[in-house]
A = this chain, B = another copy of it.
Amino acid sequence: MLYIIGLGLGDEKDITLRGLEAVQKSQKVFIEAYTSLLSFEMYNLLQEKLYGKSITVADREMVEEKADDILLEATSSDVAFLVVGDPFGATTHTDLVVRAKKLGVDVKVVHNASVMNAIGVCGLQLYRYGETVSLPFFTDTWRPDSFYEKIQRNRKLGLHTLCLLDIRVKEPSLESLCSYRGKKQYEPPRFMAVSVAIEQLLEVEQMRGENAYTEDTTCVGFARLGSEDQLVVAGSMKQLLEVDFGPPLHCLVIVGDTHPVEEEMLDFYKLAKKQGQA
């Protein structure tokens, strides 16, 4: 049996009782560490305090290239595969399930909170979001902007837009990809900050000039959503550019039309109010 277990968003205490039981009866435990941020502290806590057994950290290479080894173990014993958030936040995990089913391995999923529902905390109703967009880090030569039409469409319909911000963990460096010899070199991990996301959004708006949004558009920035020290701040793009959201992960919501209850709740997170209260 392969258990795919969501760990939720905060720390080692966000696993469910059902998830913990599955880990405890598994002979082998893997933890996925590339579609989200798994802190060293959390890893150690998980290992020592809760599970009392060794955990193998599975990076992108292991999951994408050596999935069959993991699945082979799951044919004859219980294997737990831990994922930060909910198991189906990322396509990779769907692919793992497809492979498992093809090999005849039984799969059980233990759900948990993910960014996709925890953003509800800011008061914007989840059923009033349009299509989600991903903002990739721009490079000198690669500045894709297909998110622009999607945001524009959502905003024309009065819908909110969740922007997932780029996470680059253990990406092979360009140099190492171009070289046929030598071992793979990796770039240092990078997590896009709210300010970088807004800079890129405004750069694209300036280029396209169709007023999909402006620097006065209301947004909500989130950092470490679901953790004890989460930060949620609402304000215009211009205002949020100046906010130091601190350590990753960050994400951003571009606000559409709001209902009164949404507005009231958003008010608690607004920048002017926050400073006034401080």
Q: Which residues of A contact B (CB under 8 A)?
A: 6, 8-10, 12-18, 20-21, 50, 86-89, 91, 94-95, 97-98, 101, 109, 111-114, 116-118, 120-121, 123, 125-134, 153, 157, 159, 164, 226, 261-262, 264-265, 268
Q: Could you say which residues of chain B place their CB within 8 Å of the CB of A121?
A: 87-88, 109, 111
B127 and A129 form a contact (CB under 8 A): no
B113 and A86 form a contact (CB under 8 A): yes
Chain A binding site: helix, strand, loop or mixed by DSSP?
helix
Quick one: given A8-B16, A117-B86, A118-B86, are A157 and B131 in contact (CB under 8 Å)?
Answer: yes
> Whole-angstrom distance between the alpha carbons of A176 and B86 in the complex?
44
Which of A12, A117, A157, A159 lies at the interface centre, i.e. has the most chain B CB atoms within 10 A of its CB?
A117
B116 and A113 form a contact (CB under 8 A): no
Chain B: CB-nearest residue to A259 = B91
> Whole-angstrom distance between the alpha carbons of A130 and B109 in the complex?
24
B127 and A132 form a contact (CB under 8 A): yes
Chain B: CB-nearest residue to A99 = B264
A131 and B132 form a contact (CB under 8 A): no
> Whole-angstrom distance between the alpha carbons of A98 and B120 in the complex?
13
> Whole-angstrom distance between the alpha carbons of A116 and B97 in the complex?
20
> Whole-angstrom distance between the alpha carbons of A12 and B91 in the complex?
29
Quick one: given A94-B265, A127-B132, are A17 and B18 in contact (CB under 8 Å)?
Answer: no
A111, chain B: closest CB distance, angstroms: 4
> Whole-angstrom distance between the alpha carbons of A125 and B164 in the complex?
14
Contacts A88-B120, A127-B131, A131-B157 aside, 5 further interface pairs with beta carbons under 8 A come to A91-B261, A94-B262, A98-B264, A98-B265, A98-B268
Q: Could you say which residues of chain B place their CB within 8 Å of the CB of A127?
A: 131-134, 164
B116 and A117 form a contact (CB under 8 A): yes
Q: Could you say which residues of chain B place their CB within 8 Å of the CB of A16?
A: 8, 13-17, 112
> Whole-angstrom distance between the alpha carbons of A4 and B255 in the complex?
24
A15 and B17 form a contact (CB under 8 A): yes
Quick one: given A101-B268, A264-B98, A265-B98, are A114 and B112 in contact (CB under 8 Å)?
Answer: no
